[in-house]
């Protein structure tokens, strides 16, 4: 069987979300690197794969998928449905909790973290000013979100229950960059969140994907501009 192909730049948190899923699933895959600064995602050949002109894109034979969380779901459904709370050993309740916390990741966590990453890391490399007001508001929002996570993780080893799922893994890529900003210390007030984060970091699959994600997104001295 031909390996799956993943198109994009590996420093992207959305790309990394998919790479972690592939690694955890033990799937064979090949990264097809694209250049963000070169505008590869806006070229006709990429628009033919993803009409929204974004990355990552997954090709599995003649199936082409986009939207990182949809791709990750497909990968686990195919190889390891237990990461979605589905399949043998799964249950209606567990799969529901995976879905709940995956949506929380997108709507609450990413929504709060993303402006911090943009203003604290990316903006300076792209010649834009940091808006401290936006950063401060996002940090406040994130603290409220982490408060909810702390309560959840005080009663449950992982977000969806006692075993790790896509809901947990989906957080890794944005957290990786957040923890490289000056606001990383915010997590110290939430000991269960901190322990959960350290458990994610300790996974060999996560370490492997992280190796392609320098804290400056490749813009700075690592010289690997996306």
Nearest CB to other proteins, comparing residues 106 and 189: 106
Specify the residue, 96 or 195, whose C-beta has the smaller distance to other proteins: 96
For residues 64 and 4, is the Cβ–Cβ distance under 8 A?
A: no
List the one residue from 35, 42, 151, 198 that touches other proteins (CB under 8 A). 151
Measured from the CB of residue 158, what is the shortest distance to other proteins in angstroms? 16
95, 165, 170, 174: residue in contact with other proteins (rule CB under 8 A): 95
Rounded to a whole number of angstroms, the minimum distance from the CB of residue 73 to other proteins is: 5
Q: What is the DSSP letter of 55?
A: S
Residue 70 in contact with residue 16, Cβ under 8 Å?
A: no
Q: What is the dihedral of CA 43, 46, 50, 54, to 10 degrees?
A: -70
Comparing CA positions, the residue from 220, 224, 104 lying closest to residue 170 is 104
Position 134 contacts other proteins (CB under 8 A): no
66 near other proteins, judged by CB under 8 A? yes
Length of the chain, in residues: 226
Which of 58, 59, 55 lies closest to 40, judged by CA?
55
63 binds other proteins (CB under 8 A): yes
Q: Does 28 interact with other proteins (rule: CB under 8 A)?
A: no
Q: Which of 102, 164, 166, 200 binds other proteins (CB under 8 A)?
A: 102
5-25: b or e for each residue (b if 16 or more CB lie within 10 Å)? bbbbbbbbbbbbbbbbbbbbb
> Could you list the residues that contact other proteins (CB under 8 A)?
51-52, 63, 65-67, 69-70, 73-74, 77-78, 86, 92-93, 95-96, 99-100, 102-104, 106-108, 145, 148, 151-152
């Amino acid at each position: 069987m031909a390996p799956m192909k993943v198109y994009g730049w590996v420093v992207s948190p959305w790309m990394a979300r998919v790479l972690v899923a592939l690694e955890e699933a033990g799937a064979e895959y090949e990264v097809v690197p694209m250049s963000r600064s070169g505008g590869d995602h806006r070229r006709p050949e990429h628009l033919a794969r993803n009409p929204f002109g974004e990355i990552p894109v997954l090709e599995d034979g003649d199936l082409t998928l986009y939207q990182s969380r949809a791709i990750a779901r497909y990968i686990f459904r195919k190889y390891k449905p237990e990461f979605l709370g589905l399949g043998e050993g799964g249950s209606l309740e567990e799969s529901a909790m995976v879905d709940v916390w995956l949506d929380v990741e997108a709507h609450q966590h990413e929504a709060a973290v993303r402006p911090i990453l943009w203003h604290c890391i990316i903006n300076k490399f792209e010649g834009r000013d940091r808006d401290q007001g936006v950063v401060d508001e996002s940090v406040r929002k994130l603290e409220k979100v982490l408060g909810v996570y702390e309560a959840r993780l005080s009663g449950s080893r992982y977000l969806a229950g006692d075993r790790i799922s896509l809901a947990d893994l989906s957080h890794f890529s944005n957290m990786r960059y957040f923890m490289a900003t000056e606001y990383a210390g915010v997590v110290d007030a939430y000991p269960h969140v901190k322990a959960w984060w350290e458990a994610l970091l300790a996974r060999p699959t996560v370490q492997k994907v992280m190796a392609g994600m320098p804290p400056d997104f490749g813009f700075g001295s690592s010289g690997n501009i996306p």
